[in-house]
Structure 1
Amino acid sequence: MSADLTQGAVTSRDGTEIGYYKTGRGPAVVVLHGSMESATSHTLFAQELADEFTVYLPDRRGRGLSGPHRPDHGVRTEVEDLDAVLTVAGAERAFGISAGGAVVLEAARTLSSLKQVALYEPALVADGAPHREWLARFDQQIARGDIAGAMVTSMFGFELAPGFLKVVPRGVLRWATEKMLAKDARQAADGAVLLRDLAPTIHAEGTIVAELGGTFEKFRTVDADVLLLGGTKGLRGLQPGRDTLEKVLPNVRRIEFDGYDHGAASDPGGVNPAGKPEAVRRIAAEVKAFLKRS
């Protein structure tokens, strides 16, 4: 974590505190992280923008500096939380990754304050119904402390698993996931948000994907300029959504990065163990150029 990051907090509409980190100088831009991430998952990206922009890195609910989810958590709550940060920052710009990208796009549709938004592999799918079916099993596993098992359930629920893993016994996958969680805990810096601690937040991500699934047509009303980003090795289930968004968004430019995966914009480590700083820098350069066009 960069030494020049400072902490702040704002209260969302329902009274929940949303904490954030802040760095840089110039016009404000809010960076909204994705699933199994926290505010500090994008410190490298923030540093690339910090010479020309004041970058706000909020923790979405259930993580780090922010308060917990509420029982009726959904996209509206996420947009209210983002709006609170946009307001305190005086920001007209935002960048969202994965589920955070879906929230940023919904905010661009419903909030007049956003003028420019950049999205990296936003988690929008053609049909949200299948993404509700696995949540009950996931919740039961979390309740009994089976974090690794719950993560395996969500991997298949989100259709993230490569085809060859479908024939691997779930017990083996659970064992491998437990090893990954233990390694993350050993290697994490002091104060870092662990993957084990982030796992329960996956329920809210499933809810968001389900709620926004199949809603592409409503984004025809987005007035903001949109930069739509993805990677050729990203999540295959999200590429059709970008294809559709490119057609329905009135003001959109699209870039697909050759060889980049779903975590390419995130700091190496955590759920992005193969991450490369040069990928973060390249994505940040495109986002910076886009934001400077205003």
Structure 2
Amino acid sequence: MTESKTAAALVTCLKGLQLGGPVLNAIPRWLLESMTNKMMESESKKAKKGDVTMRMLAPTLHYDGQLLMEMTGTVDRFKSLNADALLLGGSKGLSYLKPALDALEKVLPQAARMEMPGLDHGGACDISQTNRGGKPDLVAEELRQFFT
């Protein structure tokens, strides 16, 4: 990111976090970077005022990795949490996050868990961004039920 190689950084995240699956892992890196650049250019051209594009989100990705590293092995710290908690996941979500939800469900005394059928990590994305799997109405309904 510091070298303004946004596509290269996104491909690193895509591969490192296993977001693309076996098919994308088989595509050469140079081709993935080219495809990612074209996708971001197309998205930016179509973006309306106020839309958040992947190019805009990309610089925040290092925080995700940082949090994953910092939180590894800390699930027992949540045992004393005395509040209702909603654990949401998608049935098509990242497989390595499901054990984290399982562990949290066991240690959080007041946890409710919901797995949303057919959704992946982009389930809460704006519905206009269909390429990100957005079905925010489904997520919003679960949140409404939880908070009422």
* Fold in common (TM above 0.5): yes
Instruction: Give me the whole-angstrom Cα distance separating, in 1, the residues matched to 2:60 and 2:139.
Output: 26
Using the TM superposition, give the Cα deviation of residue 164 of structure 1 relative to its aligned residue in structure 2, in angstroms.
2.5
RMSD between superposed Cα atoms in Å: 1.7
Match of 1:157 in 2: 16
Identical amino acids, percent of aligned pairs: 39
Q: Which structure has more RCO (C-alpha within 8 Å, separation ≥ 6)?
A: 1
Normalized per residue, the structure richer in helix is: 2
State which of 227, 239, 245 in structure 1 corresponds to 2:86. Answer: 227
Instruction: Give me the whole-angstrom Cα distance separating, in 1, the residues matched to 2:142 and 2:9.
Output: 36
**Aligned residues between the structures:** 148
Instruction: Give me the whole-angstrom Cα distance separating, in 1, the residues matched to 2:11 and 2:132.
Output: 20
Contact persistence 1:159–1:237 (CA under 8 A): no
Q: Counterparts in 2 of 1:111-260, with a 5 A limit?
A: 142-260=1-119
1:291 to 2:147 alignment? yes
Summarize deviations over 1:6-55 as a string: whole Å, max 9, x none: xxxxxxxxxxxxxxxxxxxxxxxxxxxxxxxxxxxxxxxxxxxxxxxxxx
Using the TM superposition, give the Cα deviation of residue 235 of structure 1 relative to its aligned residue in structure 2, in angstroms.
1.4
Summarize deviations over 1:205-264 as a string: whole Å, max 9, x none: 211111112211111111110111111111112111111111111111111111111111
Normalized per residue, the structure richer in strand is: 1
Using the TM superposition, give the Cα deviation of residue 274 of structure 1 relative to its aligned residue in structure 2, in angstroms.
4.7
Instruction: Give me the whole-angstrom Cα distance separating, in 2, the residues matched to 1:204 and 1:255.
Output: 25
Q: TM-score scaled to structure 2, two decimals?
A: 0.90
Instruction: Give me the whole-angstrom Cα distance separating, in 2, the residues matched to 1:274 and 1:213.
Output: 27
Match of 1:122 in 2: none
Residues 163, 232 of structure 1: CA spacing in aligned structure 2 closer, same or farther, 3 A cutoff?
Answer: same
Secondary structure of the equivalent of 1:273? helix
